[in-house]
Each structure stands twice: as structure tokens, then as C-alpha cells.
């Protein structure tokens, strides 16, 4: 072979080698990335080629699938009582993707999770159509209905979270206003796109797609006084609910000439912590926070979960208790104002830890992941998150919260039948110079005659249209919490 031919042969050989290397690289190295690339339409077609598995509540599906009437996506998602369950399920849309459980557990629901390989192989051998697995939640249908209907009946905006204190199971997770994920589950421009656009905040100031239970932080107002009371007990500032506190009236915040005011003429001078919580004395708990200082208050708040995101597995925003505050700022923060902000989930965690004798359990909403034939794939085990209180101090704080409901501002949450309720109201100021209507809060727990506590609840209500003087945690939020607690207790009978 002459020299020019040899060079051409070598060059052609190198081209063939490069082609083989590239082909093998695509087939073996990049195969999975290409297969799952969202820009690969085959991925979407395959995703909607078979019915999705279901999200389950109390043994019943709250989702479904129907055959699409047109297009190359065979099935689309449906939802039962979509607005009520949207804060739990999120959405799965052919056009707009997925969120929350629909996204986080997409592999199980579509049947593509590696843990379903054996099940899928058997189905392929037997000729059975591929099916997705199920996501079994911890939610209680009756509690969720009570929470959602309570918010809807109240009007305005708001959220409810209910937990099982002994395990951390989420029993209710409601947000209002809400949306129906079925309305944009397809891929049409005339129906689905219009429905989607109508729900966006820029087109709908009520922001119905905001999950207020997990993603909105509010000033918690006087409900935060439960955390301040816990800090006082845990740091030994006071050792009893009935020990008089060092609380002058008027109380001028340290480093300022500003008096910290109470709401009305209430017995707050040197009041015991029980009386101070019963009447919601700003002066008592503000001074406790200032005396303890920022570091001790921050440490206690963090034990309850503040300053950390929570994963339920859906992510919840971190609640806030600030660092590097002076005494007067710490005083205001210790009554749930200044920079202090909390999600409804966070305040349900506070009530839950007190009810569970000081043990805070990690909140979660997925109990079990199942294959299509209902075999369990993964089960969530309860997990202790922290211990904000000793059992002794938790019981002291329980007695204080129970006084609030029996003789104080939380009377609207009382239950009969030998059931004891502990709670704390809150009316949180916000807006420039506190010009906006306050938020109405209530946190509580129910205790059965045997001493067990099946439920802890947090409720927040935003009502921009209400008469300012009519807004209170005891008036607006406590009745909703009562109905949720009743629903949980009735479902256990």
C-alpha cells in the first residue's frame, strides 16, 4: 500500500474508532441521563402511558387517572375533593410538571422506582399492564375535612395543621383558599393553560396555590409565649406555674423609654406564669425573654424546631427566631412579635411537644410506600427530633395551657366527655405601624381520660375584611381547632 492510501486508511480507522467510542459513551455513560431528560418527549409519553398509582387516606384513594381524549399522553391525573387535599398531594400536570407528594414520590406513583423492578419484571412476563405503586399517608380524612371546612366557613385566608404528638404523624394539613389540581392536569391551551394562569398570584391576589400550612411564615403573636414559658422553666428562672414573677407594671423595655403594653386592664403585675398565660400578659413574658437574653431564648426556640426547615417529606419553610438581638428586641420577640415568624406546622410542633411530655417527634405525612399489589416497599418509623422540655416542666406547662382553655382566652376550644384541652390564643400584629388586620392564632392539644394525647393543632386565620375589634385567636381560630380535635377523637372510637 502506498503512503497516501495508508494515511487515508489510518484516518478512516480513527474516524470509525471515534464513532465507536462516541456510540458506547452515549449507550452506557449517558443512557440514563438521556432517558430521563425532561426535554426528551418520550419520557413524558412513557410517564403518562399507564395510570399513576394513588395517594391514599384512611384506606381510600384521593387521586385517580382517566384516559385522555386526545394527544399522545394516554392518561391524566384526577383528584377527589382536590381543593381540600391540594396542600397534601400537590399536583401532577402534563403541561406544568408536579409538586409535593406527586413529585417527591413520582417514581413510586409511575412505577419507575428501582424498588419496583421485581414487580415490573413479573408484570412484563405475565403480560400485565405496568402500574404505579401507592403512597399511603398519615392523614385523617375527618380531621382534614373539619380543618378545610372550618377555614372555608370563616372566609379570608388561613391554614391548619394537626399532629399526633406521640409519633409526629400529620393528621390534617389544610390551606385556604386552595385550588383544584384536576383543573390543569392535562395539556390543552384552552382549558388547562387558562386554569393555570388564573391561579397564579399575579392574576389572583389570594394566591390559592400557596401552601400556607408549610410555606407561609406569620408572626405567631401570643402563641409564642408557650415557648417563652418553656425557656423560663428549662433555665430555672421559675420552677412553678404558680410562683409570682418579677413583673413590674408598667414595664419599660431595657435600653428604651418605651412601655410594653398589655391588652386591656388585666392582672399582670408580678403575676404567676399561670395567670400571665391565662390573660396573655405581654409584660410578664416580654420581661422573661429580656431577662433570659437572646442566647437562651434562641436555644429554646431551636429545640422546638425554629430556624430549621422541616421535611415531611414536603419541605416546610424555616420558622424564625433571630440572633444578635438586644434586650428590648428579645422582649418583643418573646411575645411573638418583632422578627419572630412561624409556619402553622411549627406552632403545631410546639403544642405537640408540650402534649408529649417534652418530646418533639419529627412530623411526617407518608406512612407507607406500596407496590401496585399493595406489598410494602418502605414504611416511615417515628423519629424523635428533640427534647425542648423535661417531662416535669412539660407537665407544668400543660397545666398552664389547660387553665387558658378552662378559665382564660381559649374557652371556645373546650370539649366535653372528660377530655382535657390545653391551648394558647394569639392575635399577632403586622403591617406598617401594625396597620393591617392582625392574624388570629390558636394552638392546642386534647388529652383523653387515660392521659394520652391523640392530637395537637395549630390554626391561623387571616381575615382582611373582618372588623379589627372582632379579631381574636379565641374567637376565630379556637372553634376550628375544636372541630379538628373532635374529628380526630371521634375517628378513634
Delimit the domains of the chain by residue range. Answer: 221-366+384-491
Question: Maximum Cα–Cα distance for the chain, whole Å?
Answer: 110
Nearest to 329 by CA among 319, 318, 339: 339
pTM of the model: 0.89
Q: Is 435 exposed, middle or buried (0-12, 13-18, 19+ CB in 10 A)?
A: exposed
Whether the ω angle into residue 329 lies within 30 degrees of 0, i.e. cis, is: no
Which numeric CATH code is attached to 221-366+384-491? Answer: 3.40.710.10
Over residues 381-434, the pLDDT tens digits come to 999 999 999 999 999 999 999 999 999 999 999 998 899 999 999 987 654 444
Catalytic residues: 222
pLDDT in tens, the chain (493 residues): 577 777 777 777 778 877 877 777 666 666 666 566 666 677 777 777 788 999 999 999 999 999 877 677 888 999 999 999 999 999 999 999 999 999 999 999 998 878 876 666 666 576 567 778 999 999 999 999 999 999 999 888 999 999 999 999 999 999 999 999 999 999 887 899 999 999 999 999 999 999 999 999 999 999 999 999 999 999 999 999 999 999 999 999 999 999 999 988 999 999 999 999 999 999 999 999 999 999 999 999 999 999 999 999 999 999 999 999 999 999 999 999 999 999 999 999 999 999 999 999 999 999 999 988 888 999 999 999 999 999 999 999 999 999 999 999 999 999 988 999 999 999 876 544 444 577 899 999 999 999 999 999 999 998 654 433 434 677 789 999 999 999 999 998 6
Q: Are 110 and 104 within 8 A, CB to CB?
A: no
Amino acid at each position: 500500500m502506498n503512503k497516501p492510501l495508508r494515511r487515508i486508511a489510518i484516518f478512516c480507522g480513527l474516524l470509525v474508532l471515534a464513532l465507536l467510542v462516541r456510540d458506547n459513551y452515549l449507550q452506557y455513560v449517558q443512557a440514563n441521563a438521556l432517558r430521563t431528560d425532561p426535554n426528551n418527549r418520550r419520557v413524558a409519553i412513557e410517564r403518562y402511558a399507564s395510570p399513576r398509582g394513588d395517594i391514599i387516606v384512611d384506606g381510600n384513594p384521593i387521586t385517580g387517572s382517566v384516559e385522555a381524549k386526545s394527544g399522545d399522553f394516554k392518561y391524566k391525573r384526577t383528584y377527589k375533593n382536590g381543593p381540600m387535599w391540594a396542600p397534601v398531594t400537590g399536583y401532577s400536570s402534563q403541561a406544568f410538571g408536579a409538586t409535593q407528594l406527586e413529585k417527591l414520590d413520582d417514581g413510586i406513583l409511575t412505577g419507575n422506582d428501582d424498588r419496583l423492578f421485581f414487580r415490573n419484571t413479573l408484570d412484563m412476563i405475565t403480560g400485565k399492564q405496568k402500574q404505579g405503586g401507592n403512597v399511603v399517608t398519615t392523614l385523617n380524612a375527618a380531621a382534614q375535612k373539619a380543618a378545610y371546612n372550618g377555614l372555608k366557613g370563616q372566609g379570608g385566608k388561613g391554614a391548619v395543621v394537626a399532629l399526633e404528638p406521640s409519633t409526629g404523624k400529620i393528621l390534617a394539613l389544610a390551606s385556604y383558599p386552595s385550588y383544584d389540581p384536576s383543573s390543569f392536569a392535562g395539556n390543552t391551551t384552552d382549558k388547562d393553560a387558562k386554569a393555570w394562569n388564573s391561579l397564579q398570584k399575579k392574576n389572583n391576589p389570594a394566591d390559592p396555590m400557596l401552601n400556607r400550612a408549610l410555606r407561609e411564615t406569620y408572626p405567631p403573636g401570643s402563641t409564642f409565649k408557650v415557648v417563652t414559658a418553656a425557656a423560663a422553666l428549662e433555665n430555672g428562672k421559675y420552677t412553678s406555674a404558680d410562683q409570682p414573677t418579677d413583673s413590674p407594671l408598667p414595664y419599660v423595655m431595657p435600653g428604651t423609654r418605651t412601655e410594653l403594653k398589655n391588652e386591656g386592664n388585666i392582672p399582670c403585675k408580678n403575676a404567676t406564669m399561670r395567670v400571665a398565660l391565662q390573660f396573655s400578659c405581654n409584660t410578664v413574658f416580654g420581661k422573661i425573654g429580656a431577662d433570659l437574653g437572646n442566647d437562651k431564648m434562641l436555644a429554646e426556640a431551636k429545640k422546638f424546631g425554629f430556624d430549621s426547615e422541616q421535611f415531611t417529606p414536603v419541605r416546610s419553610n424555616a420558622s424564625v427566631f433571630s440572633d444578635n438581638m438586644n434586650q428590648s428586641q428579645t422582649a418583643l420577640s418573646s411575645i411573638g412579635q418583632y422578627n419572630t415568624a412561624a409556619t402553622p406546622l411549627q406552632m403545631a410542633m410546639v403544642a405537640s411537644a408540650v402534649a408529649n411530655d417534652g418530646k418533639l417527634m419529627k412530623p411526617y405525612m407518608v406512612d407507607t410506600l406500596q407496590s401496585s399489589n399493595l406489598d410494602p416497599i418502605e414504611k416511615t418509623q417515628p423519629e424523635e427530633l428533640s427534647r425542648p422540655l423535661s417531662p416535669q416542666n412539660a407537665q407544668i406547662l400543660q397545666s398552664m395551657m389547660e387553665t387558658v382553655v378552662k378559665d382564660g382566652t381559649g374557652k371556645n376550644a373546650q370539649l366535653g366527655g372528660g377530655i382535657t384541652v390545653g391551648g394558647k390564643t394569639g392575635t399577632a400584629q403586622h403591617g406598617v405601624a401594625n396597620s393591617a388586620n392582625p392574624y388570629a392564632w390558636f394552638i392546642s392539644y386534647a388529652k383523653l381520660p387515660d392521659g394520652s394525647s391523640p392530637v395537637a393543632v395549630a390554626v391561623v386565620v387571616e381575615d382582611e375584611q373582618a372588623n379589627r375589634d372582632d379579631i381574636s385567636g379565641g374567637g376565630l381560630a379556637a372553634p376550628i381547632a375544636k372541630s379538628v380535635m373532635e374529628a380526630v377523637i371521634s375517628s378513634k372510637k
